[in-house]
Amino acid sequence: MSNTNSSFWVHKEGHKPELLCGSSASYTVVNGHFIMLVCSTIILGGFLKTLLKNSEVTVLMILSLLGFVIGQLAHNSIEVHKIVYPLLKTPSYSLYCYFSPMIIFMAALDVDFCILKNVFWQVLLIGLVSLLMTFIILGYVVLKFNKDLWDLQSSILFSMIVGMTDPVHSVNSLKTIGISKTYTDIIRGESMIICGFTSICFGVFRSDFLHISMFTEFRVILGLCLDILGSIICGYSCSRIIQFILTDLFSNTLTSIILCISMVYMTFYIGESFGMSGMIALVTVGLNFDSLSFKPRIEVTITKFLIMFSSVYQQLIYTFFGIVIGCGETKYLRFHTVVFMLILFATVNFVRLLTIVLVSPLLTHANYEYNWRWGIVIAWSGIKGIFSLLLAPDIHNLADQKVESPQLFILYVQGISLMTMGINSYMMAHSARTLGLCATSLPRQMAIQNAIKHIQEIIQNTITLFKTEKVLTNVNWTLVEEKTKIEYIIPSSFEKQCNDGILSVEAARILISATKSFCPIQGKDNKFLLFVCHVVFSEEFEYAGHIITVMYIYPMIMHLWPMARELNVSGLISVNNYFVFLYIFQAAMKIISLKRKYFHQYWNTLEFLIMLVGIIDIFCIYFVKLRPDNFALIQMTVILGYFRIIRFIPFIKLIIPLLINIVDVQIKKRLRLMYSITKGYVKSQEDTKLLIKQISSRESVYQKLYEILETNKRDAVKELGLIEHEGRDVVIALKTRQAIRRVIAKALKNLTFLWSRGIIDKHEGIEMNKVFLAKIKALNNFPMAIPPPTPDKYLHNIVWLENKDVLIEFFKERAKLAYFDYGDVICREGEMPQGIYLIISGMAILHSSPPTFGIDSSLRSERGSKSMFTEYCTSGDIIGELSCLLKRETEYTAICETILQACFISLEDLYEGFDVFWPSLEYKIWLKFALSVAYQYFESSLIDEDLEFQKCVTFNLAYVETLSSYNEMTIDNVTMKFVIIVYGSVIDTKTEVPYLAPCILPKTCEQIQGTSDLSKLLVVQPSDPAKNTDDPKVMVSTGLRMSQREYNWKRKYEERNFPLSWNRSQTTRIQLP
Handedness of CA 646, 647, 651, 652 (dihedral sign): positive
Q: Which residues of 11-30 are buried (b: 16+ CB within 10 A; e: fewer)?
A: eeeeeebebbbbbebeeeee
Shortest CA distance to 1016 belongs to which of 938, 922, 936, 914? 922
Handedness of CA 994, 998, 1003, 1008 (dihedral sign): positive
Rg of the chain over CA atoms, in angstroms? 40
Least confident of 82-86, 232-236, 350-354, 1040-1044: 1040-1044
Q: Give me the DSSP letters along 673-740.
A: HHHHHHHHHHHHHHHHHHHHHHH---HHHHHHHHHHHHHHHHHHHHHHHHHHHHTHHHHHHHHHHHHH
Q: List phi, psi (to 5°) of 697.
A: -105, -15
Question: Alpha carbon 299 to chain centroid distance?
Answer: 22
pLDDT of residue 388: 87
Q: In the chain, count of helices (H) and strands (E)?
A: 44, 16
Q: pLDDT tens for residues 941-957? A: 777 777 778 778 877 88
pLDDT of residue 86: 84
Q: List phi, psi (to 5°) of 16.
A: -100, 125
Whether 820 and 842 have beta carbons less than 8 Å apart is answered as yes
**CB neighbourhood size of 647 (10 A):** 21
Q: List phi, psi (to 5°) of 872.
A: -110, 140
Shortest CA distance to 266 belongs to which of 238, 233, 227? 238
Q: pLDDT tens for residues 204-252? A: 777 754 444 444 555 666 667 777 888 888 888 888 888 777 766 556 7
Alpha-carbon gap, residue 272 to 266, rounded angstroms = 10
Whether 504 and 497 have beta carbons less than 8 Å apart is answered as no
Is residue 1013 very low, low, confident or very high in pLDDT (cuts 50, 70, 90)?
A: confident
Sequence-distant (≥ 6) Cβ neighbours of residue 556 within 8 angstroms? 644, 645, 647, 648
Q: pLDDT tens for residues 384-435? A: 888 888 888 888 887 777 777 788 888 889 899 899 988 888 888 888 878 7
Is residue 1026 very low, low, confident or very high in pLDDT (cuts 50, 70, 90)?
A: very low
Please list the residues that pair with 903 across neighbouring strands.
817, 838
3-state secondary structure of 757: coil
Mean pLDDT, the chain, rounded, equals: 76
Is residue 1054 very low, low, confident or very high in pLDDT (cuts 50, 70, 90)?
A: very low
- Range 758-782 average pLDDT: 81
Which percentage of the chain shows pLDDT scores above 70?
A: 80
Asked whether the predicted pLDDT for residue 778 surpasses 80, the reply is yes
Is residue 1017 very low, low, confident or very high in pLDDT (cuts 50, 70, 90)?
A: very high
- Range 1066-1072 average pLDDT: 28
Question: Alpha carbon 229 to chain centroid distance?
Answer: 46
Q: What is the dihedral of CA 988, 993, 994, 1000, to 10 degrees?
A: -70
Residue 432, class by beta-carbon neighbours within 10 Å (0-12 exposed, 13-18 middle, 19+ buried)? buried
Shortest CA distance to 197 belongs to which of 127, 255, 148? 127
Cα maximum dimension of the chain: 123
pLDDT of residue 236: 86
Shortest CA distance to 707 belongs to which of 728, 726, 692, 729? 692
Mean pLDDT is highest, among 222-231, 375-384, 563-572, 986-995, for 986-995
Alpha-carbon gap, residue 721 to 966, rounded angstroms = 44
Q: pLDDT tens for residues 185-204? A: 788 888 888 888 888 888 87
More confidently predicted of 278 and 224: 278
More confidently predicted of 290 and 551: 551
Q: How many angstroms separate the Cα of 805 from the Cα of each of 381, 477, 801?
A: 55, 16, 9
pLDDT of residue 523: 40
Cis peptide before 919 (omega within 30 of 0): yes
The three-point CA angle 290-292-296 to 5° equals 115
Handedness of CA 867, 852, 1038, 1042 (dihedral sign): negative
Residue 1058, class by beta-carbon neighbours within 10 Å (0-12 exposed, 13-18 middle, 19+ buried)? exposed
pLDDT of residue 859: 67
Asked whether the predicted pLDDT for residue 647 surpasses 70, the reply is yes
Question: In the sheet where 878-879 sits, what is the strand order?
Answer: 816-820, 900-906, 835-841, 878-879
- Range 988-1005 average pLDDT: 89
Asked whether the predicted pLDDT for residue 670 surpasses 50, the reply is yes
Alpha-carbon gap, residue 312 to 44, rounded angstroms = 10
- Range 955-984 average pLDDT: 88
- Range 591-611 average pLDDT: 81
Asked whether the predicted pLDDT for residue 840 surpasses 60, the reply is yes
Residue spans of alpha helices (H) in 986-1039: 1025-1029
Question: In the sheet where 994-996 sits, what is the strand order?
Answer: 968-970, 1007-1010, 985-988, 994-996
Is residue 516 very low, low, confident or very high in pLDDT (cuts 50, 70, 90)?
A: very low
Asked whether the predicted pLDDT for residue 1056 surpasses 80, the reply is no
Sequence-distant (≥ 6) Cβ neighbours of residue 712 within 8 angstroms? 681, 685
H or E element that contains 781: none
Asked whether the predicted pLDDT for residue 18 surpasses 80, the reply is no
Q: pLDDT tens for residues 686-706? A: 778 777 877 777 777 778 887
The count of residues in the chain is: 1073
pLDDT of residue 251: 65
Is the whole model's pTM more than 0.75, yes or no? Answer: no
Cis peptide before 998 (omega within 30 of 0): yes
Q: pLDDT tens for residues 855-892? A: 876 666 555 455 667 787 877 788 988 889 888 888 88
Least confident of 129-138, 438-447, 647-656: 438-447
pLDDT of residue 1024: 55
DSSP state of 11: B
Alpha-carbon gap, residue 992 to 986, rounded angstroms = 9
Q: List phi, psi (to 5°) of 374.
A: -65, -35
Whether 768 and 760 have beta carbons less than 8 Å apart is answered as yes
Q: pLDDT tens for residues 110-130? A: 887 767 777 777 788 888 888
Q: Which amino acid is at 943?
A: I
Is residue 473 very low, low, confident or very high in pLDDT (cuts 50, 70, 90)?
A: low
Least confident of 141-150, 222-231, 563-572: 222-231
Is residue 279 very low, low, confident or very high in pLDDT (cuts 50, 70, 90)?
A: confident
Is residue 1039 very low, low, confident or very high in pLDDT (cuts 50, 70, 90)?
A: very low
Residue 799, class by beta-carbon neighbours within 10 Å (0-12 exposed, 13-18 middle, 19+ buried)? buried
Alpha-carbon gap, residue 472 to 734, rounded angstroms = 10
Least confident of 464-478, 534-548, 706-720, 896-910: 464-478
Residue spans of alpha helices (H) in 291-371: 298-327, 335-366
DSSP state of 610: H
Q: Which amino acid is at 289?
A: F
- Range 491-496 average pLDDT: 49
Sequence-distant (≥ 6) Cβ neighbours of residue 564 within 8 angstroms? 557, 558
Asked whether the predicted pLDDT for residue 136 surpasses 80, the reply is yes
